[in-house]
Chain A
Amino acid sequence: MTPLSRLLAAGGGTRIVAFGREGALSEDRLRADVGALAAYLEPLAGGRVALHCQDAYAFAVGLLAVGQVGAVAVLVPSRQPGALLRLAGEVAGFLLDGEEVPPEIEGRACVSPLALPPAEYTLAALDREAPWAELFTSGTTGEEKPVVKAVRHLEDEVATLEARFGAALGAGTRMLATASPQHLYGLLFRVLWPLATGRPFLRTPILHPEELVPTMDEGDFALASTPLALRRLAERAELTSRAAHCRAVFSSGGPLEAGVARRVAETLGAPPYEVYGSTETGGIAVRQQWAGDEAWQPLPGVATALDPEAERLVVTSPFVSGGEPADAGCTRLATGDRAELLPGGGFRLRGRVDRVVKVAEKRLSLPDMESRLREHPAVEEAALVLVEGPGEPRVAAVVVLTRLGRESYVRDGRRALGRELSGHLARDFDRVLLPRVWRFADALPRDAQGKTSVRALEALVTEGTTRPERLVFEQEPGRAVVEWRIPPELAHLEGHFPGHPVVAGVVQVHWVMSVLEELLGTPPRLTSLEALKFHEVLGPRDHVRLELETEAREDATRFRFRLIDAAKPERTFSSGRGSCRAES
């Protein structure tokens, strides 16, 4: 194999480097494309250039040209407006494939890597110490620190991959991938490792994993994929006929279920190599699952240990970036993962230490998203929790609204407010990370210790929308104001009446009593109820406001209530007065 730093220093020829629906390209063509772009980028030497390409070949040309001129490629995780806008002031220009320049960066220097006229340019070896690529930990672009990879980090990791897996792959094997090169896994497995070892790679971006199937017939292949895509592929029985061509399957980005690993082994004839690592550490370890929680074995040249608290896994290797220096050009970094070391050098993972979760292989810091939510004028407080969905786990948000937020809730409705908040987050977070479930509450749920525990949040979220959502609870001596929204799925609406749902009067009185219980601190016993009137029908999606006045007498509490429409106070649903005693 060619060391990555010397990839373009010599060579050329008609060997295919990349293939796909857009056409196959030779090494000569790659050298010409990199030269043309490098000539254009020359004035940016030492600067930073944002890079985002759908086409993995255009991506490779962009990255190699940026390296040639001694600049740093900032690998933008997505073309989300917020991410591009933030970068606009920090980078000298943008390399984006496709026709359109996103409006956020209009007026900035922006070219497509494959759109330049041929130019004379002498391709050279890269300086191993030079910074080359700046990555973001997947999922968020907000508070996360960028991770800078020098040429040597990527070169050494590619050499390690070849040492560990090269024999299994064989020479000239085509690399198919669903992983995007904008993240470290795809960058290494899809583009750099194949380039350095003369294996052609698939340039076409893949949305539905089955789009890979026809390319499997064209000869021997290896597949660099993710747990989500493999779960889908494992169900395709026709893959069995492609097994003869399959040399190796890789999975990274999140835990691979043992059942999926087994099915992939059965259909493609290759038990997947699961690769564990992170943007900061690079690859750490590998395993092939058969029964379940098999141990991880460190990659060659990677040393693993536990931190002094014997909790977190600490990694030392030549391709860790951003840690503390260790022997022999290595760097040491503590991960956020709990681990248990095993005799013989392997280890088992025991979950995260912080509130960083993964959704569809994308890492999300829940505190980051919560603080971003709190910036919205409608949000007073916010807490996020991961809940099981029909497929993947999804983010759920519990939000306490500001006055402005409550007005919007009443005026525009629940769905519109949820979409508004989603839109606010979509500027910074990938769509799959956006909260799928929204719960609005008058306060964050707290456990007995006064903490907003995961369990309390889960309970509120999974309770669903079958109970009234309480947005306001204001209390002063002798007076309380409470606001609810009546959800269409309210359990009490069932059977009242078919095709014409209303909240029964007895239920309305029950709500009044439950608020009284909160005020008194004990369950009240109703001793009288007078002047009870039901004025207008209360139905689903109504937003109600309870005004409750109380007066403590010697042995009883007198109360008077009005249940009105929060959006139209002149509309009264029910009213009445009465007295109650604390239950003895």
Chain B
Amino acid sequence: MLETEIKRLIVESLALEDVNPEGIETDAALFVEGLGLDSIDALELAMVLEERYGVTIEDDPEMNARIFASVRSLAEFVRSQGGEARGS
């Protein structure tokens, strides 16, 4: 499942300690609250998503804020860009 894979990507690419992919809630906030990621993580994560799914992060700040809100919104974004096929 794409959500599960994104959780694993987050933990592995950001080298999060003490966090299991299963422990990340699909709807929980990724930044500041919730998982507590920061702006460096945002850049790192964008790069990993681009590499893995061939998606392109757009230039709209409001849209980016929505995309990076949670695992669910990231997965929806990847699906909307047709990136799932490349990922699986």
Task: Give complex CA distance A453, B39 in Å.
Answer: 30
Is A201 in the interface zone, CB < 8 Å from B?
no
Task: Give complex CA distance A389, B21 in Å.
Answer: 19
Which bucket holds chain B's interface residue count?
A: 20 to 34
Which bucket holds chain A's interface residue count?
A: 20 to 34
Task: Give complex CA distance A465, B64 in Å.
Answer: 34
Is B28 in the interface zone, CB < 8 Å from A?
no
Please tell me which one of the listed residues A211, A389, A415, A418 contacts residue B59 in the complex, with CB atoms under 8 A apart: A211
Is A232 in the interface zone, CB < 8 Å from B?
yes
Contact A438 B17 (CB under 8 A): yes
Please list the 6 inter-chain residue pairs (A to B) with the smallest Cβ-Cβ separation, ordered nearest first. A415-B18, A431-B38, A391-B44, A211-B59, A432-B38, A213-B59
Chain B residues with CB under 8 A of A212: 59
Chain B residues with CB under 8 A of A206: 61
Task: Give complex CA distance A391, B15 in Å.
Answer: 10
Chain A residues with CB under 8 A of B61: 21, 204-208, 211
Contact A419 B14 (CB under 8 A): no
Chain B residues with CB under 8 A of A436: 15, 17
Is A390 in the interface zone, CB < 8 Å from B?
yes
Extra inter-chain contacts (7) besides given A391-B47, A415-B19, A432-B40, CB under 8 Å: A211-B61, A211-B64, A390-B13, A390-B14, A391-B43, A413-B18, A438-B18
Task: Give complex CA distance A180, B27 in Å.
Answer: 31
Kindly identify, within residues 33 to 88 of chain B, every residue whose CB is under 8 Å from any CB belonging to chain A.
36, 38-40, 42-44, 46-47, 57-61, 64-65
Interface residues of B (CB under 8 A from A): 13-15, 17-19, 32, 36, 38-40, 42-44, 46-47, 57-61, 64-65
Chain A residues with CB under 8 A of B58: 210
Chain A residues with CB under 8 A of B60: 211
CB closest residue in chain A, given B67: A208
> Looking at A391, A415, A432, which has the most chain B CB atoms within 10 Å of its CB?
A391
CB closest residue in chain A, given B18: A415
Chain B residues with CB under 8 A of A422: 36
Chain A residues with CB under 8 A of B36: 419, 422, 431
* Chain A: minimal CB distance from B58 (Å): 7
Chain B residues with CB under 8 A of A205: 61
Show 13 residue pairs from A and B whose CB-CB distance is below 8 angstroms, ordered by the A residue. A21-B61, A207-B39, A208-B43, A212-B59, A232-B46, A390-B15, A414-B18, A415-B18, A418-B17, A422-B36, A432-B40, A436-B15, A465-B17
CB closest residue in chain B, given A236: B56
Is A551 in the interface zone, CB < 8 Å from B?
no
Chain B residues with CB under 8 A of A431: 32, 36, 38-39
